Chain A
Amino acid sequence: MAIAGHAEPLPSSLTLGARVHSWVVSVDHKRLGMMYVGFGLLFFLVAGLEAAAMRAQLARAGSQLIDPTTFNQLFTMHGTTMVFLVGMPILLGMANYLVPLMIGARDMAFPRLNAFGLWLFIFGALLLYYSYIGAQGLYGTSAAPDVGWFAYAPLTSRTYSPGNSTDYWILGIMVSGFGSITTAINLIATILVMRCPGMTLLRMPLFPWMMLVTSVLVLIAVPVLTGAQAMLLLDRSFGAHFFDTEQGGSAVLWQHLFWFFGHPEVYILVLPAFGFLNEIVPVFSRKVVFGYSLMVAATVAIGFISLGVWAHHMFALGLSPEMNSFFAASTFLIAVPTGIKIFTWLGTMIGGRIEFATPMLFATGFLAMFTFGGLTGIMLAVVPFDWQLSDSYFVVAHFHYVLFGGTVFGIFGAIFYWFPKATGRMLSERLGRWFFWILFLGFNLTFLPMHVSGILGMPRRIYTFQPDRGLDLWNLLSTAGVALQAAALLLFLWNVVHSLLRGKPAGNNPWNAWTLEWATSSPPPDWNFDRIPTVGSARPLWDVANPHDPDPSPEAHG
């Protein structure tokens, strides 16, 4: 093929130290991307263990397995880790790896800034976890943050959270937040100026499109969190009173600032996963995406609207009826472009010849679960209904359907899809299917009952629950579901290790896919492409494979 690159055999003479060194000093977007994903998966295991410990405690009413303070640290660290140290790095890491390849570039626009971002993230993550050792001074007992991942004021003030654990939370997230900001700038620059000849914005694959919108959201939302955290730091250490209610500070201000970041963050975590689906669903349905332009428009619309819905996290605060109505309306509105996406994928599948390889299994699981989570989201937008459901286990169920059934399923689909590209070897399909089905079962067994617990009146973030409220069975089921998920993850780990060593060689394009990353070798050479490709449509490899039926170029198409 004219646009293919070729693989350099790894010089096997390198010592281990030299290999590690070559990774540490690397500014190659592919290596940085893989390190992001690797660290993200590592923290996924950590956060998973934290979740498992919580479910062990909640297996039974009145259990005393884990004491309240430890439990409160567990859910704080679980939430913080999943959002900032799992979701963000894995998604930004995948973008790092894929975007230059998909747009036919040799690297990101700012390779060294890229490496800087990765190391900031790692440093921030270590700083957060160092709190377990250092939060009360090396000689005191250890203490991780226990203020919850959205750290509402004034619980975070020195009065109610003495010690340094909250400061570690602030600093760790702040530092890794700077990392995210640099990556966002880099992605925007890369997507806007580094596209290969012929690739107009409307011939760009949809994943880079999703990443463009995501990066803009990161750039707008994360600095607001960073600023709020700086204010909190000033409160805690330098006598400021932004959020100090005893001195006239405002607890509500923190919520506005946090959720102005927090809601776009939800879309920052899910838009890239939408991007994965936009690549996977068409390829495995063997059919071009149904309504490319509307998909792009819906994404941009989501980006805009998501900046104006934040107070739907604050309906129970007793804001004015007018405020509540406004934010309910904007939240309803965002359901429309989100729905468009789901319909687009359905429209793509219908009429196709769908092959249910593991990536497609996960994409389909995503569609099924995300739809459910989206619909419970609509229920939560109904303000009076939210007054009952908010801060209950129903909400916990809702956002796990969106972020686990959605984002995490999308990530696993993406890993199965692009692993061959990154490593040159296929993951085992058989193990992959087992993994999917056990995870799917375990996921639903864990989170479906949580809707019921919430409806029965169980608030979130409680270390124990009352025995006389009909909650016992539902909680036990949730715990059992976690056991299945843990088993599934062991299977996945085994699959990765085994396939890295023994997996079937992948070849350039194992899935007969259509975008540029499949035109080069697996793994791609350092320089990605021997010659910078030139494209005439959004699916260059389709055009090569089907010369009699090439894609119309979007300009001509209208």
Chain B
Amino acid sequence: MARRFMRFNRASVVCSVTMLAVLTAPSFAVDVAPICTPMGGEPLQSTSILSPISPPAREIHSLAALVVGVCAAIFIVVEGALLWAIIRYRRRAGDRGEPVQVFGSNPIELAWTVIPLVIVFVLALATVRTIKDVQRTEPPAGALTVDVIGHQWWWEYRIADEDGGPPVVTANELVVPVGRPVWLRLASADVIHSWWVPALNGKTDLVPGRFSNTWFEAEQPGTFLGQCAEYCGTQHANMLLRVRAVDDAQFESWRTAQAAPARDPASFAAGHSIFLRLACMNCHAIDGSSSGAFGPNLTHLMSRETIAAGMAPLNRDTLRAWLVDPQQLKPGCNMPSLQLTDPELDALVDYLSSLN
């Protein structure tokens, strides 16, 4: 018996270890994605739903604490009873014959119908109350209004101008003032996406042909991360979100800079003309030069920290790598490789890096 036990023990262990190697080794044997490194600079806020830094996320967090507490209590009671039954009522060596047959008991059955009913009733009340608080149908007072448009696999932001001017248009990175509610109007240009920055609020879908809303209010400065949470095709995994909360003065100067016209292309004529000559201008807008709307607005490209919806830090190297072949960094994305020559690349990178 003991020998047999050992044999199977060993067989199972060998089997499991082999499987483990088969599953994990290949992933460690190949290189990771080319520019897949954590980005340095200021500390990033956690993407955990347990570190809320905005009123709706905070309310959800405290409701969650209640619910998890109730569920944990139920878990302990039920699994405890199960364990007790397993230990106390397992068949013992001396047992003979059948145990007493009990066909049920009205009071007990009533109890385990009514008590759960009461518990879920309480939870339902708490749920409905928090829905009312978190799900606004009107913008909160004094809110900054931002239109968010989901595209296969990047984000477009249009920040409304309170004075009736044209909105500031940017991509992938949203800058907001600390301590002021932000009202997001969500729409999609293609398929369904979902805007989810856990520290700020739960997720809300962006549905084509339909508008939805959400809101948040960053309570402290910092960079808040998230990503698209509804499967939207090939590069769903790299449709990353980045919200930077700054103080009022910084926000206003950011907004002014974004509203300013693009840098005069005169000193980068070579790059500028390539941009206009190639298909770039059909897909990308640069204020004063082109108005393509299929890809991100590049007017103030270099004011952003990342490229390709947060995949890599934005600098001359990554910009160049991107222009050589976007499919290398972000396979399947909607920007084709334009087969540029080295001099063309240099000129384009010079021009684009001047756009800040």
Contact = CB atoms under 8 A, between A and B. Distances in A.
Interface of A: 52, 55-65, 67-69, 72, 146, 148, 152, 154-155, 159-160, 245-246, 248-252, 285-288, 290-294, 316-318, 320-321, 324-325, 328-329, 332-333, 335-336, 339-340, 342-343, 346-347, 349-356, 364, 367-368, 371-372, 375-376, 378-379, 381-392, 430-431, 434, 438, 455-457, 459-470, 476, 479-480, 482-484, 486-487, 490-491, 546, 549, 551-552, 557
Nearest to B48: A456
B74 to A, nearest CB: 6
Contacts of B261: none
B190 to A, nearest CB: 7
A469 B197 CA distance: 13
B104 A364 contact: no
Contacts of B288: none
A545 to B, nearest CB: 9
Nearest to B13: A487
Contact of B116 (A339, A469, A551): A339
A114 B57 CA distance: 53
B202 A384 contact: yes
Contacts of A486: 19, 23
A387 B16 CA distance: 37
Contact of A354 (B15, B89, B205): B89
Most A C-beta atoms less than 10 A away, residue of B75, B128, B212 = B128
Given A148-B231, A384-B63, A249 B209 contact: yes
A519 B305 CA distance: 74
24 contacts: A59-B24, A64-B32, A72-B236, A155-B233, A294-B109, A325-B127, A329-B124, A335-B116, A340-B116, A353-B89, A353-B95, A354-B86, A355-B90, A372-B75, A382-B67, A382-B127, A384-B135, A387-B203, A387-B204, A391-B203, A430-B8, A480-B20, A483-B17, A483-B24
Contact of A455 (B50, B86, B108, B210): B50
B282 interface: no
Contacts of B226: 457
A160 B131 CA distance: 34
A333 B131 CA distance: 18
Contacts of B81: 346, 350
Contacts of A461: 231, 236-237
B229 A391 contact: yes
Given A68-B235, A387-B60, A463-B237, A245 B131 contact: no
A379 B60 CA distance: 11
Contacts of B349: none
Given A335-B120, A467-B38, A484-B19, 15 more contacts: A52-B23, A59-B27, A64-B31, A65-B26, A252-B210, A336-B117, A346-B81, A351-B89, A384-B60, A384-B131, A388-B57, A466-B225, A480-B20, A482-B23, A487-B18
Interface in B212-237: 212-214, 225-237
A68 B234 contact: yes
A158 to B, nearest CB: 13
A351 B82 contact: no
Nearest to A484: B16
A382 B63 contact: yes
Most B C-beta atoms less than 10 A away, residue of A72, A346, A378, A388 = A388
Given A325-B128, A434-B8, A316 B205 contact: yes
Contact of B231 (A69, A152, A480, A483): A152
A376 B70 CA distance: 11
Given A384-B134, A483-B20, A364 B99 contact: no
B196 A459 contact: yes
Sorted nearest first, the 4 A-B pairs with minimum C-beta distance are A387-B202, A318-B212, A457-B47, A62-B36
A511 to B, nearest CB: 13
B281 interface: no
B202 to A, nearest CB: 2
B332 interface: yes
Nearest to B122: A332
Interface string B65-76: 001100100110
B3 to A, nearest CB: 13
A385 B89 CA distance: 39
A60 B36 CA distance: 12
B342 to A, nearest CB: 26
Given A148-B231, A375-B74, A467-B38, A288 B207 contact: no
Contacts of B235: 68
Given A63-B27, A392-B229, A384 B102 contact: no
Nearest to A367: B82
A353 B99 contact: yes
A339 B114 CA distance: 11
A491 B15 contact: yes
B24 A290 contact: no
B341 interface: no
Contacts of B132: 321
A56 B26 contact: yes
Contact of A487 (B15, B28, B121, B203): B15
Contacts of A355: 90-91
B108 A64 contact: no
Contacts of A376: 71
Contact of A382 (B64, B85, B99, B105): B64
Contact of B98 (A317, A371, A546): A546
A317 B17 CA distance: 43
Contacts of B117: 336
Contacts of A62: 32-33, 36
Contacts of B332: 68-69
A346 B128 contact: no
A154 B89 contact: no
Given A316-B205, A332-B124, A480 B24 contact: yes
B49 A388 contact: yes
B22 A455 contact: no
B208 interface: yes
A379 B8 contact: no
B91 A354 contact: yes
A383 B134 CA distance: 10
A469 B47 contact: yes
B104 A455 contact: no
Nearest to A159: B190
Contacts of A463: 236-237
Contact of B28 (A59, A342, A389): A59
A55 B23 contact: yes
A467 B91 contact: no
A355 B92 CA distance: 9
Contacts of B277: none
A191 to B, nearest CB: 23
Nearest to B95: A353
Given A332-B123, A388-B49, A465-B237, A438 B12 contact: yes
A386 B228 CA distance: 16
B37 interface: yes
B39 interface: yes
Most B C-beta atoms less than 10 A away, residue of A333, A351, A483, A549 = A483
Given A64-B32, A340-B113, A349-B89, A317 B207 contact: yes
A421 B117 CA distance: 40
B83 to A, nearest CB: 9
Contacts of B37: 467
B104 A293 contact: yes
A371 B231 contact: no
A464 B24 CA distance: 15
A197 to B, nearest CB: 23
A251 B210 contact: yes
A146 to B, nearest CB: 8
Contacts of B214: 318
B102 A288 contact: yes
Nearest to A554: B103
Nearest to B201: A387
A476 B39 CA distance: 22
A464 B203 contact: no
B90 A155 contact: no
Contacts of A371: 75, 78-79, 82
